[in-house]
Amino acid sequence: MNDYLKLSGGRYHTAIGYYNTAYHHSTWFQTATERPYIFEYEDEGGILPIHMVGVQASGQIPSGKLGLHYIAEVGNGRTSNPVAEPVQNYVDENGHKAFNAAIFARPDAIPGLQFGFSVYKDSLSVPDSPRINETITDAYAVLIRPRFEWLNEALMIRHAPSGQHVYETPAFYSQISERFGMYTPYLRYQYVNASSHEPVFPQVGLRTGPSVGMRFDATESVAFKLQYDYTFLRRQGPIDGKSCIQLSMCAPSAAAVQVDFKF
């Protein structure tokens, strides 16, 4: 409609933080072979509501050189039923809609810098469990330059079952890379620590560790990536030394080779 109000509706990536809206399903766009663990897709074990079906309003906030933007969303959150489609494409399983509000700034003073904050709230109806109020807060600061990229993001996932203990799951990642000609080395460190009694995703536990890799843009349409992950799991030995070669993402395996195409 104008720069201050844009309305869209349908199925979209929830505006939680930066990574979920900056990188969609094409792996060619992202530097590493796969998304940070906390931003994995719901059907691949992700713990966040990556997709939402609803309505989104966004736009600029007149703020001069600060460059403030806002995003406000309302829609069907994710399902609590572990065997159903994670994204509720048609009907919300309960009467509560999911809400998300985000604000971010792109100051003129530092080109390429964007920082922001978002809050997501939903109500989950897990089987054999009281209603759980879900609150996901995210803060991020990224610096994107023509040959340099530094992404930093931190989340807090809060699940509060009615009348029960509140579970908070912190997570963060930091990714840095720089392009040298056709080669782009990168380094990422990610962390997520979920309680084993977490009502929604008790199987996550603690996952932390660095990933280092090299991206080679053979042509403007083809990229080769070689990545090594070292992941520390709670009460499990680190996964190291194993390698697997596959054509798509593989996690939490130690090494991966990926070929990405752009059409």
Partner 1 sequence: MSTRGCAIILAIVVVVALAFPREHSAQAASAALDARANPSQSLAIVVNRSNPINNLSFSELRKIFMGDRNHWPNGHRIAIVMLEYGQPERRAVLRLIYRMDEKTYQDVLLRGMFRGDVFVAPKTLASPTIVRKFVFNAPGGIGYLRASDVDESVKVIRIDGLLPEDKGYRLQIDESSKATDD
By CB under 8 A, name the binding residues for partner 1.
2-3, 6, 8, 21-22, 24, 26, 29, 60, 65, 67, 106, 108, 111, 145-148, 150, 174, 176, 178, 181, 187, 189, 191, 208-210, 220, 230, 262
Lookup: tokens for 222: 């083809």
Quick one: which of 202, 149, 147 has its CA closest to 174?
149
Taking the complex as a whole, the smallest distance from the CB of residue 35 to partner 1 amounts, in Å, to: 15
The separation between CA 128 and the C-alpha centre of its own chain, rounded to angstroms, equals: 28
Strand residue runs (E) in the chain: 6-13, 51-61, 68-76, 98-105, 113-124, 132-144, 148-161, 167-178, 183-193, 206-217, 222-229, 232-233, 255-261
Q: Is 57 or 126 the residue whose CB approaches partner 1 more closely? A: 57
Q: Is 127 or 237 the residue whose CB approaches partner 1 more closely? A: 237
Taking the complex as a whole, the smallest distance from the CB of residue 176 to partner 1 amounts, in Å, to: 5
Q: Is 148 or 216 the residue whose CB approaches partner 1 more closely? A: 148
The separation between CA 120 and the C-alpha centre of its own chain, rounded to angstroms, equals: 13
Rounded Cα distance between 66 and 184, Å, is 31
Q: Is 99 or 189 the residue whose CB approaches partner 1 more closely? A: 189
Residue 53 corresponds to which amino acid? V
The answer to whether 148 touches 175, Cβ cutoff 8 Å, is no
The answer to whether 155 touches 37, Cβ cutoff 8 Å, is no
Taking the complex as a whole, the smallest distance from the CB of residue 128 to partner 1 amounts, in Å, to: 36
Quick one: which of 188, 158, 145 has its CA closest to 37?
188
Q: Is 234 or 262 the residue whose CB approaches partner 1 more closely? A: 262
Q: Is 160 or 194 the residue whose CB approaches partner 1 more closely? A: 194
Taking the complex as a whole, the smallest distance from the CB of residue 249 to partner 1 amounts, in Å, to: 18
Taking the complex as a whole, the smallest distance from the CB of residue 186 to partner 1 amounts, in Å, to: 10
Taking the complex as a whole, the smallest distance from the CB of residue 223 to partner 1 amounts, in Å, to: 11
